[in-house]
């Protein structure tokens, strides 16, 4: 696997945060390319973390934070997928919805309407970047254990 680095930019804050989130999302998806469903379900740790779980979890987390907590939408959260292809498709569909919602917000100071603590869109995006990057690292380790692949 070719090691890919994030695009460099001198864009505004919203664009930069979405650029870094997109890079981390794509890193996760690259880690699961070509992995069989059986291997995607394999876990090497007692917590049960697997590549399939990671992709399902990240789709759920983005929808939860942006659609439900930030926007107050009652749109159902993505259901966990049983196959890796379905999980990746669901994750990618979530990206489009999340990115559209973030672009439509008046600014990054907009506050989540359905969360028990006041957090703004800026905080949520930084949280999603760190959450996705953290799990991209987990995916790196699991993929390397599965087939020896390394790289971002």
DSSP per-residue letters across 37-82: HHHHT---STT---HHHHHHHHHHHHIIIIIIIIT---PPPPPPPS
Q: Is 13 helix (H, G, I), strand (E, B) or coil?
A: helix
Residues 127, 12: Cα–Cα separation, whole Å: 18
Given this model, what pLDDT does residue 91 score? 98
Please report, in tens digits, the pLDDT of each residue of the chain (152 residues total).
566 776 677 789 999 999 999 999 999 999 999 999 999 999 999 999 999 999 999 999 999 999 999 999 999 999 999 999 999 999 999 999 999 999 999 999 999 999 999 999 999 999 999 999 999 999 999 999 998 877 66
Domain boundary assignment for the chain: 22-147
Distance (Å, rounded) from C-alpha 34 to C-alpha 102?
Answer: 31
The fourth-level CATH superfamily of domain 22-147 is: dinb family like domain (1.20.120.450)
Are 107 and 78 in contact, with CB atoms under 8 Å apart? no
pLDDT of residue 1: 52
Candidates 27, 32, 17; CA nearest to 128 is 17
- pLDDT value for 18: 97
User: How far out from the chain centre does Cα 19 lie?
Assistant: 12
Residues 94 and 89: their CA atoms lie apart, in Å, by 9
């Amino acid at each position: 696997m070719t090691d890919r680095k994030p695009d460099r930019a001198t864009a505004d804050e919203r664009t930069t945060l979405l650029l870094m989130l997109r890079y981390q999302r794509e890193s996760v998806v690259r880690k699961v390319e070509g992995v069989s469903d059986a291997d995607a379900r394999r876990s090497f740790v007692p917590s049960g973390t697997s590549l399939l779980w990671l992709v399902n979890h990240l789709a759920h987390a983005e929808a939860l934070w942006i659609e439900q907590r930030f926007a107050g939408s009652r749109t159902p959260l993505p259901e966990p997928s049983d196959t890796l292809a379905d999980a990746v498709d669901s994750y990618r569909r979530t990206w489009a919805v999340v990115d559209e919602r973030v672009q439509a917000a008046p600014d990054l100071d907009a506050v989540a309407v359905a969360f028990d603590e006041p957090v703004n869109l800026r905080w949520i995006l930084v949280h999603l970047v760190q959450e996705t990057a953290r799990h991209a690292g987990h995916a790196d380790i699991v993929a390397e254990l599965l087939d020896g692949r390394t790289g971002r």
